[in-house]
Every structure is written in structure tokens, then in C-alpha cells.
Structure 1
């Protein structure tokens, strides 16, 4: 099994189960929103940011999810062009956090092989994850979210990498990266750190490293879902206490997310979800996007609320006609909008297709 760079937003392959044939009625036209992820750490001045954001606004976009870069500079440009500025935050993947890596190496997740993701990052070098079971990790992340939410230049906080490492990657990437992941391999199975083991033993009476088949153990799976969910609840509190909404990029559907990245997102108290419905990663076509939207919307409805769900769309897999079809498919399936990954990939032809799809 070779270790190579792979697309950071990769999901994990699974065939969607059967879904009801009837489509959820689309939301009212005024509530269907266009968003885009934006890499904010580009070398651009305020005038260039304003030009790019004006281009989005003219195409009907309402908001941007911006990672990196100067908050005041990019937020000021976005707001000047009538767009909301939401700060895109890498949550449990702390690869770029030198202070944490240097001061708290014990915070990082441990594989079933008992190797730290700090010292032995799975797949690629930037896959260094902190453990959501640890109280100091939650306290640290809560402080970071509170700081962002308290900033007047920030309209909302957007979580990413709020999960465990992918135990299985998308089927569409196996051949490209010489991987065979028809089972859960121990080097990609997290987290078996001392804190997780102690907490699970206190709840269940067993040490997870001694479970004969941890991949099939429901209690052990549930523990890891709950550890991420517990952390998200604290981060949501931090944002809401500062009067700001909080959102997250999540794996395509609740069932895919639970199985492949230990992410139980339909239980999270967020203000909007962005499900990454990147059909090419899953060797699927555009109708699959609609199936994923229906599953996500149904799961949120079943919990008793109508939290908006935007379909995340991956531009390298969508030429302009396909993007228009994907937007229309997501809207018919009940999505509250879409978000594109990412702004720099939006050609004039893409924007024209978006305008036609939502008109």
C-alpha cells in the first residue's frame, strides 16, 4: 500500500441505499442560497478581492467560506460587495498548528497500530489529527472558535475536518493511489489513545485494543461518533454565545459519514450543513447528488427541525452544463442551496450555468 498525496476533501466510497422515489419539494426560491469555499491565503489586494467577490455577487452568491488569509482584508472586501464572510476553520486536523504539535504531542490521535498521527500521519504528511475525547483539546478548540466568533469582521464560523481520519477513502481514489481498502486497515483506524481507551473502558468495561473485531463493534463505533459530537456541541456553544452562526462541511450523507469517518453529523446543533456531494470521488453520476440531498434532508427532518442543508459541489468534476444540472438536481431534492469548491475554479461559463439553474 503506497502513501501518496490525495485530494484533501476526499470522502469514502459506499453505495447509497434505496431512498424514497418521491422528491422533497424544493425550498422557496428566495431561500435557495449560493455559497463558495474560498482559499483566502492568496496574494491579492483589497481591490482584487472586491473584483472577485463582485463577480460572485453578480452571479447570485450570498456568502463565502474563507480559509486562511487576513480576516479584516478579505472580510472587508466581501462585505463591501454584499457577501457574508464565514471563517473556514480546520478543526481536528491540526497539521498547520505548530504550537499544538510542539507543546502537546500527546493530543494527537493514535491508530489501532498504536502509532500517533503526529509522528506517523496516515496517507499523507498533513493528516495530523487531535483527539476529540480529550478535555484540553476541546477547551483549546473552543477558545479558537470563541475568538473567531467574537471578531466583528466574521459573520459566522465554518468547521472542516471535524471528524476522525478516513478509515476508508473513496472508491474512485483506490487505483489512482494504489490503495485497496475493501476492509478497515488498522493504520487508518482511529483513535486508540490512552484517553479514548480509558473512557471507553469506564463506559463499557473493555479495552478497545483487546476487542477481537473492532470494525464490527457497535459500542466502539458509537463511542467515537459521540466523541466528535461532544466536541462539536461545545464549539457550537462557543459560537452561539458570541452571537454567530456555526456551520460545517460534512461527508455526503449521515450513513456514509458514520461508517467511514466516524462523523454522526445529523445530531449536531449547527445552523447549516454543507454535505460534500463530490460524485466523482464515489464513481457516481449527478443523480447521486439528489439521492444524497434527500437522505441528509430526511435525517435533519427526523430530528425535528429544518436546519438548512447545502449541497457541496466539486468543480473539477463538473463542466458548466454538468454544474447547472447538479444545482437543479440538488434543488429538486430539497437542498437549501449549494456551495462550490472552490471560487478560483468558477469560470464565466460556470457562473452563467449557475444563474440559469436558479433563475
Structure 2
């Protein structure tokens, strides 16, 4: 039994009610728009099959669907969810913002599973829509290779990088400096997932990395009863497409605002701190290092030394695999203190420590998808979830 819910990063997640763990993360077919309601449309025996469905493919796919509602659109997605954009379709049901005055607020499925009802807000309207999941089944037969939709969501450069890093991981598992005969394989251990995602510039939290590894590990458990400890390239491509963030850049204002939020929370918790140790604008060097090792997802002392050494230019590469001696002279945080400013504010954090390049003000602002769709966001404290 799973509970499906949507988060603020345009992701659907399947929560296992037995083990209380996240078993799958799927990118929503639309980005940057909050999900208002979620429901399911079970398969009905007399649902028509479109004439265009090839008969040589045998029995059509199951027509169970996930129905979800945004502020103005109604979406229908074939189950099981896998992130394939061809398995989803939508229609504008309650236009809002520049399109109209309506905001969708609720949906319901008729008892005969043929119709979907949606209710608006300021427009005081309710609509009835006829559901035909067979159209989505026909769309899935528009391509021969089931991986083609996922390839199309990546650029040629990204796809080549994924292949290169995957085969580099295969070499590293066997030993980069090994002189033995190389073994050809199509799979690598799931322990390589964190390194692959970070090599592609996808820096997930440790929580999400663990979810990604568990998703592969339990992917066939329900059907075979066995756990998986290896994965192939196509599996990783699906993981990367579904886990990557729904926006392309982060603004300086967001970095400074998030940094200030952290300082405000620490200032309220640690009122016994010496004066100027933590303020609304900056944090002392010692408090900053302590924060990284204690708050949120704590960073171990060894990893903190390694990360700061690389970020500050004291070590050219990470010392985990290719060069185990690169960090032998940097074993203590005290040796790194001299390279950090005494007090760290938002600008020092993203310029000095992260080394982030900031675009000039006369260049066009790279606004992420969530900010572009901010006008379509309505405040809601309700949690959208449904049991599958």
C-alpha cells in the first residue's frame, strides 16, 4: 500500500505505509505549479480502446490513471508513474491570472468512473469532464523504444556525460589503477549513485540520496521478493530525470534570504550566545563550522575538512578515490580557519566559500520556474495526497 503526495518541487512521491519509507520519486509533467488535489481513476472494463492502437502489440496497457488538479489545469497520468511525459495529458479547466478569474479548488470522480468534476473559486463554476484514458494508451504506442521519452528530456551533452560518468564508475569499481583484465558489465553497484548524481551537478541531500538508492533496491521487491544491489545506465537516466530540480538557476536574492532564515532560527534558539556571535546579518567562523556539523543533516568532521579544502582551493580534487594522499596535510579544521573570514554573511558564503559566479545586473535575470509561476500560486495549508 502506498500513499501518493506532491511536494513543492514538482515531484510525486510514493510513501510505503508499511515501512514508512519513500519508495519512488517521480517528476510531475508540469513544473513550478502547486498541486491542489490528487485522486485516482480506476480502470473500467468498458473503457473504449482508440482505433489507432496497434493490434500487433496485443492487449493494451492498463488504464488506471492518476488525476491531479493545479490552479487552472486538470491532468491525467497513466499508472504506474515513471516520469514518461507521453503518459500524461492536460486541459485548462479554470483559467486564472492572465487567462481568467477562476482558481480550481476541488475535484471528484463519478461512481461510474466516467466523469471528473472540478470546482472553481472566484468564478463560482463547476465543470463535468468525460475521461478517456484510452487516448493515453495510444500515445504510449507512438514510440518503439520505451526509453526514448527520457532521452528526449536530456540534451546531447547531458546524455553523453551520463554515459561517460557511468562507465567511469564501472572502471573505478574495478580499480582505476588495476592492471588486471577489465570485466565488461552493464551494471554497477547502487553505492555509486551518490557519486554519479554529484558528477552531473545534481547535489541532493543525504535524505534524497538514500531515497534514490532505496528506490533501486526495492524496485523489484514486490514482484520477485528480492532486493537489487546493481543498476544499469537506463535506470540511472530515469532516476536523474525524475530527481533533478525543476528550475535551472538560483538567484542571489534566494541565497541571501535562505542564509538569513538560518541565522534567524539560530538566533532564536541560542539566545545565550555571546554578543555578535550570531546576528541577523552574519555568523562567526566558529559558529558556522559548528552549524555545519550539528544542524540539519550533520556533516562529519572528515567530510567537512575535505569539502572546505576543495571549495577554498587547498586541494584540487576530492581525495576519496583517485588520490588518497591529496588531503594528508589537512587533517584539522584549525588549519582551514585562516582561509575563512572571521565573520560570514550571505555574500561571503556564496562568493568566497561556494565560489558562485554572479551575473551582472544588466544581464537578463535567470528566473526559475517556481518564480515564473508565482502568480498562479494560492495560499493553501492542505496536504494533497491519495491512497493508491
TM-score (norm 2): 0.21
Structure possessing the higher relative contact order (Cα contacts under 8 Å, 6 or more residues apart): 1
Q: Bigger radius of gyration, 1 or 2?
A: 2
Normalized per residue, the structure richer in strand is 2
